[in-house]
Amino acid sequence: MLQLNLFSNQVTFASMPSTRFQGSKRKYLPFLANLFADYEFKTCLDAFGGTGSVTHLLLSMGKDVLYNDILKANYVNAKALFIEGGMRLGVDELKSLFQKKDGVDYKQHISDIYDNIFYTKFENEQIDVITQNILSIEDEIKKSEAFYCLFQTALIKRPYNLFHRANLSMREQNVQRSFGNKKTWDTPIELHMIKFYRELQEYKAIQKPGKCYFANDDAFELRTDVDFVYIDTPYSRKRNYSETNYFNFYHFLDSLVMYYDFKSSVNTGYAHKPIYKPDQSWFSAEDEEEAFKLLLKRFSQAIVCISYRDDGYPSVERLKEILSDTHKDIRIAMADGKYVLARKGGENKEVVIIGEPISV
């Protein structure tokens, strides 16, 4: 999994453990590596960081990176992956997370609130205990490593790897399936967690020359004193409609991070009991166009690189116009070759739009 790959003439880097997360750019890293190598910069921001795959690339290229994501679980995962030094959590410490500790008054928030929604009764009881044991770990790095193993396990045991539907029944039905993997869903939490522990341990043993910093903020409020900003917003195909609503997809993982406080935020009117409103948007502006205008203006001093899809809203051409108000020398590149305006049907394509600051 982690051999070194030569992806381009300039950039050599190891691969990251694969994570089951919508919109991960992991498979586009060789393409992005080639593009990034054409620009000179030292400090950068991965503003909508997700799994951190692009942070991984930038760190491997020797850049100093501020990883950011608005979701708490993503922020914790990134810390587990990118804080320097090897694995801190011992495998025995990981295994001990399953045992109740003497004298602790364990709560049952997951068992109570998510009964029959995402996991079996037994799994919910385990998640309650593991989460509270993780939260009692004093060392913040060990805590993030333990959470990483739990989050990856929680995702792999879910149909579609998401929490947007109360569909435990899908896991339990004995029917022919064209997707998913019942064996994976039914594999005990402990076995999955140990496997993810090993993957993380292997990854953390690889030295990366760049230094990583972390933020858990709204990208619209982040610091702007960086040379390069990578923008990979949730994908919209229509105005004010995001196909990939990360708040709705991954709310459950954030509930675990906020275990002692999340109950009052649960939207009980929805079967999947999200702590965020299911229609919560990634921006508070009027629409996507305004949101991009705000973001690009905010980062007008930096080289900006936007990952996009050729059928996104606003269109690539419109986004290029918006970017040209604040940036120059705009370049459009497609992961699978040259950008052509008229698409001939089929799958949508990954596009990258890059601009350099006008004022420099």
Ligand X SMILES: C[S@@+](CC[C@H](N)C(=O)[O-])C[C@H]1O[C@@H](n2cnc3c(N)ncnc32)[C@H](O)[C@@H]1O
Instruction: Give the footprint of ligand X on this chain (CB under 6 A).
Output: 21, 23-25, 48-51, 53-54, 68-71, 74, 218-219, 232, 234, 246, 282
Please choose, from the candidates 277, 301, 144, the residue with its C-alpha nearest in 3D space to the C-alpha of residue 214.
144
Nearer to ligand X, 38 or 218 (CB): 218
Q: Which two tokens stand for residue 307?
A: 């990952």
- Residues 6 or more apart whose CB falls under 8 angstroms from that of 108 comprise 125, 128
Output the CA angle 301-349-164, nearest 5 degrees: 90
- The least distance separating ligand X from the CB of residue 204, rounded to whole angstroms, comes to 18
Q: 139 or 218: whose CB is closer to ligand X?
A: 218
Indicate the SS3 state at residue 155: helix
Residue 24 vs 132, nearer CB to ligand X: 24
CA distance 349 to 297: 26
Q: Which is nearer to ligand X, 133 or 248 (CB)?
A: 248
In the complex with ligand X, which residue's Cβ is closer, 24 or 153?
24
> Minimum CB separation from ligand X for residue 274, in Å?
14
For 91: left if phi > 0, alpha if psi spans -120 to 50, otherwise beta; the answer is: alpha
Q: Output the residue with the shortest Cβ distance to ligand X.
A: 50
**Residue pair 360/301 in contact by the 8 Å Cβ criterion:** yes
CB of 6 to ligand X, least distance (A): 21
Cis peptide upstream of residue 209 (ω within 30 degrees of 0): no
Burial of 6 (0-12, 13-18, 19+ CB in 10 A): exposed
Q: How far is the CB of 267 from ligand X (least distance, A)?
A: 18
3-state secondary structure of 263: helix
Residue 250 CB, nearest distance to ligand X (Å)? 7
Q: Strand 43-46 relative to strand 12-14: parallel, antiparallel, unpaired?
A: unpaired
1 vs 191 by CB, closer to ligand X: 1
DSSP for 75-141 reads HHHHHHHHSSSS--S-HHHHHHTTSPPTT-----HHHHHSBTTTB-HHHHHHHHHHHHHHHT---HH
Whichever of 211 and 309 has its CB closer to ligand X, that residue is: 309
Rg over alpha carbons for the chain, rounded to the nearest Å, is 21
Least Å distance, CB 190 to ligand X, is 27
Q: Find the helix or strand (DSSP H, E) in which 255 lies.
A: helix 246-257
β-pairing, 350-357 vs 303-309, is antiparallel
Nearer to ligand X, 50 or 142 (CB): 50
Minimum CB distance to ligand X, residue 313 (Å)? 15
Minimum separation from the CB atom of position 307 to ligand X (A): 7
Minimum distance from CB of 136 to ligand X (Å)? 27
Nearer to ligand X, 204 or 251 (CB): 251
